[in-house]
Amino acid sequence: MSIEVNNESGFAVDEAEFAALGRHVLDAMHVHPQTELSILLVGTEVMTELHVQWMDEPGPTDVLSFPMDELRPGTDGDPTPAGLLGDVVLCPEVAAAQARAAGHSTAEELLLLTTHGILHLLGYDHAEPEEEKEMFALQRQLLLTFLAGR
């Protein structure tokens, strides 16, 4: 599995932990081991530009996902084909504000957002209540099993 983490935000993070989380999520979702994933951390200015350009929404956001090969989760006996999963773009400054409001660390918020972004790359969404329930339960389970294993 090729997981590239680039921190262009100036915010101190443990890049190896993001790669380990990505590997954990992709393994749990039965994604082919030769799949490629990119995780990028950017500042608010860059995130604002991306948010306006791709979502037509003002201001920065916490996470954006840019799928490439539109891969979907596999099963134990039938993993997804190898391919380019896509890019997860995170904004640590927005995540820090959300973490303060939620009462947990910025690191935990960034890991949650990374999991959330990867699930979007795998086709999960939360536009409808049932989709949200499924996606949020799965992201919680994936994050908890990752945190328990470190």
Task: List binding-site positions for Zn(2+).
Answer: 116, 120, 126
Q: Do the beta carbons of residue 41 and residue 91 sit within 8 Å?
A: yes
- CB-count exposure of residue 71 (10 Å: 0-12, 13-18, 19+): buried
Q: Do the beta carbons of residue 90 and residue 114 sit within 8 Å?
A: yes
Transcribe 49-92 into DSSP letters: HHHHHHH--SS--SEEEEESS------SSSPPPS-EEEEEEE-H
Q: Which residues contact 103 (CB under 8 A, 6 or more apart)?
A: none
E strand residue ranges, the chain: 2-7, 36-41, 63-67, 84-90
Annotation: binding site: 116, 120, 126
Question: Could you give the CA distance from residue 107 to residue 111 in angstroms, rounded to a whole number?
Answer: 6
